[in-house]
Amino acid sequence: MLDPGKTYNTAVEVTLEVIGGKWKPVILFHLTFGKKRNGELMSLMPTVTQKVLTQQLRELEEDGVVTRFSYNQVPPKVEYELSEYGWSLKELLHFMCRWPQKRGLSQLSRLREDRSEERGDLL
């Protein structure tokens, strides 16, 4: 969430303030493929907790990146989609997905191995 009293020295800081963290980029990436309900997002991200997902969605909504649609029906139906502002992140999010492949890192385990080697960790 952007802090109006905070001084940002670069645009990268502002970007990371809005979309930074473990789950926000993942949520936004999934929303580039269309509206999603909470349960859909939970199934696409099986290791996120409901509490964290709800918190991240609220922050993205407060920052104007995500739009929440609540339908007046029983059972309740809520959907999330990228706002116009959020859609401006699509190219960045998809580039982030392609970046590891450009390095020849098609699997997360390989990325972790590379990090371990750089630090000199024992596997």
Token pair in block for residue 47: 């290791």
pLDDT in tens, 33-91: 999 999 999 999 999 999 999 999 999 999 999 999 999 998 889 999 999 999 999 99
pLDDT class of 112 with cuts at 50, 70, 90: low
User: CA 2: distance to chain centroid?
Assistant: 16
pLDDT in tens, 9-18: 898 888 888 8
pLDDT class of 114 with cuts at 50, 70, 90: low
Shortest CA distance to 55 belongs to which of 74, 41, 76, 44? 41
